């Protein structure tokens, strides 16, 4: 006999007392994959560097760290993921990156005919 209209809480009558039982339901569990850091490969023509980064972290941190390690000015290179330019405000989650994905680094080219 249900005495409560709340589907999450069911009150059952047993003998001389009321027993409260939780009705089984799916709980939104955090996606363990989304909390696990990614291992990303950043490569240019001569170098390959691996970074471990949280999925929600802006890629600016990774880009700046790569440039500092390689002695390059951040405004002199461009980062690409799957052929598209990566913005500093992008995150691995936003770009749907997976563990082991590669960011390509290319020298910025200005002008040309």
- 12 occurs within a structural domain: no
Which residue do the tokens 């696990």 mark?
36
Q: At 58, list the tokens.
A: 């802006």
- 90 occurs within a structural domain: yes
Domain that holds residue 97: 32-107
pLDDT reading at 18 higher than 50: no
Q: At 111, list the tokens.
A: 């002008």
Q: Are strands 38-43 and 102-107 parallel, antiparallel or unpaired?
A: parallel
pLDDT digits (tens, 9 = 90+) for 41-75: 999 988 899 999 999 999 999 999 999 999 999 99
Angle at 50 between CA 48 and CA 54, to 5 degrees: 150
- 17 occurs within a structural domain: no
- 112 occurs within a structural domain: no
pTM over 0.75: no
């Amino acid at each position: 006999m249900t005495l409560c209209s709340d589907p999450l809480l069911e009150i059952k009558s047993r003998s001389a007392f009321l027993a409260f039982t939780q009705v089984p339901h799916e709980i939104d569990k955090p996606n363990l994959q989304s909390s696990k850091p990614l291992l990303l490969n950043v490569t240019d023509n001569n170098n390959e560097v691996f970074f471990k980064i949280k999925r929600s972290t802006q890629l600016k941190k990774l880009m700046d760290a790569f440039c500092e390690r390689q002695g390059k000015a951040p405004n002199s290179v461009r980062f690409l993921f799957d052929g598209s330019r990566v913005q500093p405000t992008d995150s691995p989650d936003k770009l749907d990156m997976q563990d082991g994905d590669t960011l390509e680094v290319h020298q910025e080219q200005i002008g040309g005919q």
